[in-house]
Amino acid sequence: DSDISLKEKAAFKIGAAVKMRYLKEDAEYTQALKDNFNQITAEFEMKMDNIWLSEGEYNWEAADYLVQFAEDNNMAIHGHSLVWYRTFPNWFKNQDNDSIAFEAKVKTYITDVVGRYKGKIRSWDVVNEVFADGGGARDEAIIAPLFNDPVAFYGRCFQYAKDADPNAKLFYNDYSVVIDSGKRNAIKDMVATFKAKGYPIDGIGAQFHYGKSTGLTKINEGFTDLASTALLIHISELDIKMNANKSDLFVFSNSIAQEQSAIYESIVKMYEELPENQKFGISTWGVSDKYTWLTTEWHAKEYPLLLDTNFNKKIAYQGFLNGL
Ligand code: XIL
């Protein structure tokens, strides 16, 4: 049946990053989401700077809306993301230069957020993007300079989330995970430390913001290596750029669409090679080319997703289906 949808064909979750505003304002968008996907990630509404207004003061409005939307439409919701230096609110990141006070606040935040959605948000990115390209800690990550042993701090963050909702699946999420062996080794070392010390972790989110220049062989090797952790693997933010030089004259021609489709197909096939019990899901970073962060924040002429600007299925949609 050529009309089968991704969510019907896949044996794992098919997710999309969404924005509440589009759900409220664009009925076609909402319909396309419901027709094709069975999991959502909030594109920004569940990040710390959106929820955490000040100590003890939270804005739950958008997060509540999205959780209710998922429940009403029988979709899973993947929580993103609890601890990410880029989304620390200003009032918080400038406040403490001692690790104890800093950690106490983070603990309260994790406990309150995960606790509020206990049983509703089934998985969380607990820690996001703390490793530098090539490995080691990110200089700008705020956390690393505060703690003698940042990895132990991350482990305790996972423990706080676990205590707040023992059934939620807990992920570490990052970009370049499968193409940067230094970063991947840092993640694997962290996972080994967690296992040795008893900190809970269920999975790794590999973002997958790649493009036509990213070598598939390299992706494949890195992916296999990542899977050696035996954890769940979430392709968490998939989109495929085709306009390598960010040219304004770029035209998304039929041959480029075919090329993009082949990349999607290869990635999905590679994912399917994982042991069944490691397949958590594949999420695209957006629903359709009408709204993509590559246009709104990167200002590139890009058509990186599976549905076109009119919510019609692209060739890449068929490529993804073929891979399943
Ligand atoms: C991006 C969103 O797409 C934007 O709307 C937002 O302004 C910034 O964040 N890695 C992540 C995502 O983990 O949260 C990022 O999302 C993309 C890169």
Confirm or reject: Cβ of 128 under 6 Å from ligand 1. yes
Mean pLDDT computed over every residue of the chain: 96
Q: What is the mean pLDDT of residues 299-324?
A: 98
pLDDT of residue 181: 97
The C-alpha angle 161, 162, 165, rounded to 5 degrees, equals 85
pLDDT at 1 exceeding the cut of 70 = no
Residue 266, both tokens: 């290869």
Residue 100, both tokens: 């104890």
Confirm or reject: Cβ of 44 under 6 Å from ligand 1. yes
Domains of the chain with bracketed CATH: 38-207 (3.20.20.80)
pLDDT of residue 2: 62
The atom of ligand 1 lying closest to the CA of 84 is: 13
Q: Judge contact between 254 and 309, C-beta under 8 A.
A: no
Confirm or reject: Cβ of 243 under 6 Å from ligand 1. no
Nearest CA to ligand 1 atom 3: 293
Q: What is the mean pLDDT of residues 89-115?
A: 93
Query: In sequence order, what are the beta bridge partners of 209?
Result: 239
For 306, counting Cβ atoms within 10 Å of its Cβ (0-12 exposed, 13-18 middle, 19+ buried), the class is buried
Residue 275, both tokens: 């042991």
Number of other residues whose CB lies within 10 A of the CB of residue 138? 16
Q: Are strands 52-54 and 57-58 parallel, antiparallel or unpaired?
A: antiparallel
pLDDT at 97 exceeding the cut of 80 = no
Work out the pLDDT band at 139, boundaries 50, 70, 90. Answer: confident
Active site residue 237: yes
- Measured CA to CA, the distance from residue 322 to residue 276 in angstroms comes to 18
Active site residue 25: no
Residue 99, both tokens: 């690790």
Choose, from 237, 265, 297, 302, the residue flagged as catalytic.
237
- Measured CA to CA, the distance from residue 231 to residue 233 in angstroms comes to 6
Q: Indicate if ipTM > 0.90.
A: yes
The atom of ligand 1 lying closest to the CA of 125 is: 13
pLDDT tens profile 167-194: 999 999 999 999 999 999 999 999 999 9
pLDDT tens profile 191-213: 999 999 999 999 999 999 999 98
pLDDT at 217 exceeding the cut of 80 = yes
Confirm or reject: Cβ of 308 under 6 Å from ligand 1. no
Concatenated DSSP letters for 26-48?
Answer: -HHHHHHHHHH-SEEEESSTTSH
